[in-house]
């Protein structure tokens, strides 16, 4: 199938607009953050197309990219209606804790993750049980009969988590002000703009020279989940339970 004329284009643009709106509403994603979760050309972008049975439509990537750009620009340029603005400013669309950064906008786990885990732990897929598909938690029974609880993310998902953390930290910064004198207080958001803040965070969260190992983020995820980092394999990153491990999302 392909988009051959104006009628086809209008039909697919309308369809994709509805699908993107549905995605934002269900996942509680702000328009300005769409490119984080549906970066054009990324695996998540392609999954969105496949999941909605559009992968055989020639030119659909351009349609989806246009719709995403349109949604982002509407918020950035202040074109949203007052009702939509209030909706996207509601608490549902905000990251309320660092732990929520680990699953906000993250896709459910898939069979490829199970294959990766089978390779890493030298077992078969039948020995891997899903604990929580939305939070990428698995239980693995190895050849010694030992059960291991593991957490897995792709490199692409780590970049989404990183963006979530930047959002959360900047929102926390915006809540604070500093007292210069007894009668002068200044909001930190007036002093530290979002782009400057993100540049600083990228310096802290920078990846290693190999271009694939975000050490600071790995350590932060280990602290938030009370799990130990195990290893990376084929651009996937794996954590295992600690001996005193308890429910990591309490």
Q: Which residue has the higher pLDDT, 33 or 152?
A: 152
- Average pLDDT for residues 41-69, to the nearest whole number? 91
pLDDT digits (tens, 9 = 90+) for 187-219: 888 888 888 888 888 888 876 555 566 888 999
pLDDT of 130 higher than 70: yes
- Average pLDDT for residues 153-171, to the nearest whole number? 91
d(Cα 219, Cα 208) in Å, to the nearest integer? 13
d(Cα 72, Cα 60) in Å, to the nearest integer? 18
pLDDT digits (tens, 9 = 90+) for 8-36: 788 989 999 999 999 888 888 888 888 88
In a domain, 142, yes or no: yes
pLDDT at 209: 54
Q: Which of 93, 120, 153 is the last residue of a domain?
A: 93
pLDDT at 212: 62
Q: Which of 69, 93, 117 is the last residue of a domain?
A: 93
How many folded domains does the chain comprise?
Answer: 2
Do residues 166 and 147 make contact, with C-beta atoms less than 8 angstroms apart? no
107 & 204 share domain: yes
Do residues 2 and 57 make contact, with C-beta atoms less than 8 angstroms apart? yes
pLDDT of 224 higher than 90: yes
Do residues 49 and 59 make contact, with C-beta atoms less than 8 angstroms apart? no
130 & 202 share domain: yes
In a domain, 201, yes or no: yes
Q: Which of 44, 73, 93 is the last residue of a domain?
A: 93
The pTM (predicted TM-score) of the whole model is 0.75
Helix ranges, the chain (H): 6-27, 34-37, 43-51, 60-76, 82-88, 111-120, 155-174, 188-191, 194-204, 215-225
Q: What is the extent of the structural domain holding 159?
A: 97-250
């Amino acid at each position: 199938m392909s988009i051959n004329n104006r009628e086809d284009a209008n039909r697919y643009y309308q369809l994709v607009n509805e699908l993107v709106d549905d995605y934002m509403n269900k996942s509680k994603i702000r328009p300005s953050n769409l490119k984080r979760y549906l970066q054009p050309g990324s695996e998540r972008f392609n999954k969105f197309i496949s999941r909605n049975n559009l992968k055989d439509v020639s030119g659909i990537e351009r349609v989806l990219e246009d719709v995403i750009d349109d949604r982002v620009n509407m918020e950035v340029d202040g074109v949203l209606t007052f009702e939509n603005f209030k909706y996207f400013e509601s608490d549902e669309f905000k990251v309320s804790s660092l732990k929520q950064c680990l699953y906000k906008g993250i896709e459910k786990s898939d069979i490829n993750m199970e294959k990766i885990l089978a390779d890493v732990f030298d077992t078969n897929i039948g020995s891997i049980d899903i604990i929580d598909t939305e939070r990428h938690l698995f239980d693995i029974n190895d050849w010694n009969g030992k059960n291991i609880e593991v957490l897995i993310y792709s490199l692409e998902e780590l970049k989404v988590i990183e963006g979530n953390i930047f959002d959360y930290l900047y929102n926390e910064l915006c809540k604070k002000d500093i007292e210069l004198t007894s009668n002068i207080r200044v909001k930190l958001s007036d002093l530290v703009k979002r782009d400057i803040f993100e540049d600083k965070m990228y310096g802290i969260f920078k990846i290693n020279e190999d271009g694939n190992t975000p050490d600071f983020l790995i350590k932060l995820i280990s602290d938030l989940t009370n799990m130990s980092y195990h290893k990376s394999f084929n651009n996937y990153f794996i954590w295992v339970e600690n001996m005193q491990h308890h429910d990591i999302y309490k």
